[in-house]
Chains A and B, each alone.
Chain A
């Protein structure tokens, strides 16, 4: 219920538009009622053969209702689409703002890509809230009120009967069918999810399936799921069919009841016979407003579910960030120090009592097997994660006292995979320095050795780089990340396996560029491949969250241990893949 209130809150910003759209919507239905009712009155009155001039008013109103219905409908559609677009904009912006303030842990798990796309579609789902839920329900209420009011003038009983049947049709029928169909929706989601999984499995595990002779049984299993889905559809259709039957039956019943009520009134002389056709047709027409409320209930459920998911994700009691925003904004720099840092999530300890000093102006490498906690060091440094205990300091200042903005202003991060926005090259660069001039951008690209790349682009800096930069190779993406870092121009660089997805030649070239760019900077370099390690001032070997070895390359190769073993192994690898 609070979810609904929150959703309704969004409508508040556009209350006049919403009001207008609802009036237009109700007007559309009522014009339809008017058209039918006035037509009925017209021919009834005409049957009494009055002079034709007496009918002029009613003839004009028949035409009026006919035309205004279409025009009202048209304006209502336009206005409600306009509202939907505005709502969507508002909701996206609001949700994005909330998401920014979420602790990063939640959004980094390995299913994050799926999670993110599911929340985007949840936000999209919310757009239905006005057009499919609020508008039809309010319009129905207005029309029910108007119809009841209209009928009350002729006979209170007819009014009551119409009111009850309209309400039953608008609320009772959907509630009943919703109840009947309740299990099906859930079952359907479940079956579809299962099928989705089976197909992914069938495709990704296709080699295993073939070699172990599982394909036939997998095929049969999927066929069984297809059959179950179809069977579920058929069962469900019996209920949706029931809804159609009841909804229309209710309309007929209302007409029939109106007939039974009016006939005695005409006989007793309390009602002029001229009115009968009009009343019946008005009742018939008014049901248009309640006919489609079933879908409103469905959408109410789905939007509520989507909203719940979203609100759950940005639940305020779980956000830990936004703490030290008022801290000192002055420039961040100096030695980086981890002291006794422990960190874990999901009941897994990743770092245990970890201490390390990264001296200013020197290059420190952290190496170790995957899953040893290397990347966590970086995420802690950038305040994406908060340590469970212990402290991190930069230039002696506790990280907790440094505002995020100042911190991120001071450190350049190059990740294993560079995220590129579906946008132009320019816009992908200027996020690092908003308002950068063309010259500044070109200089940065030149330093990142991407001049050639830009020269070959049809529109230079303003060339779109495709969906998530898919037109760029791995090496080019990493160079773009370097160009971003150059534009940011910081004294601290943190690199997390920047060459992990590259072949050896590209790797070598990129390493040279990075070394040239970071000559006098403070560098934290995370890697599991031991390449050019003699270039580092200090190397730490991390395993299962603890440093097991440290020293320079020379020192480490002279002692037994992980480092020397790993180096030996690496020498055993043919660089055939890239040669």
Chain B
């Protein structure tokens, strides 16, 4: 889902690249306030909103999110971005709320999903008005209007209009959210309810205004570089599909950025596979009807917050990131550990993990390569993964986890896997139903269609990435 090219995505990546470049030059504080002006220079006709000033304001707030701030933390509108840069460099903690809504960019969406168009003839029958259960329709200037404060989006007006004058207009972020965690306040601006949010990142991909932003950890990571600390990257296996190059070059390029070492999370995936296989065997022997995977943090958050009845069936095995970070922490007790991964859910997991310090998304690491002028294909290939089972590299593609566990079990027990990839509203209901009847005994669940290769922060199209990863697994 992250791979779908659109201008909101391009703007985000352009901003990330500019921030990374200035950080590398040590000039961010000095020049950050110029970025919105450079992207929307005086006289520019390349405008996305009502005017150049609004465009610049939105860019400013997007930068604020990329510096790791919550937009609503702004106290004084005159505070320059340079001040946020200074504050970010002093900051000692990252927040457990990984998203922020740029309010200046939001609020463009309809309050009620049904809108009466100019095709309304103001007829005598007025079935829209007669059939509206909430009295939300009134006539003004000979045409029907919907009062959004009364409308409950039932759609009766649309169903009854003889002229097809009523259209349904979605609110993309709300429509994409599988759990109803994003909704409007009284001013029409979207807010995220973290009691419900499952960190799937679907809203941030869905918003055509790019108003939902991830709070980046880039500032913390650059500070660690600046303070000459050892910074170690833990790379999610999905990275192997992100560039048109062998994994060896990607690892080489990350080292070139100044990371002290790069550890493949596929190494931890091997531990997850072994533990999950052992746990599966044990649970089946104990008579449990089925077990589900636990490595997608968005899925486990869905269970915790919305499907508690499924909780006893979720594997207690930890994620590949957990095991990898544990191993890496032993080797580098004082290093800064940075997980490089495909999605928002993993950013949240990084926050919870006892050993990982920060997270960089694939988009962010891509922007850092561009900023540093690194062409991944030209970087010096590094040694990768001696002793990693190829099945561990297959985790990010739907079916990969269940496949690895099945391979490990090697026919010792009855193993029938079912895969659910892509969590949406309907899927949540289906998952609830699993408790009553499940067609297999091992359920693999991934929040994104196609697996982690289709996370909200990926660069490559997931079909291309899956193909590349498939080749690695075959090796």
**Do A and B actually bind?**
no
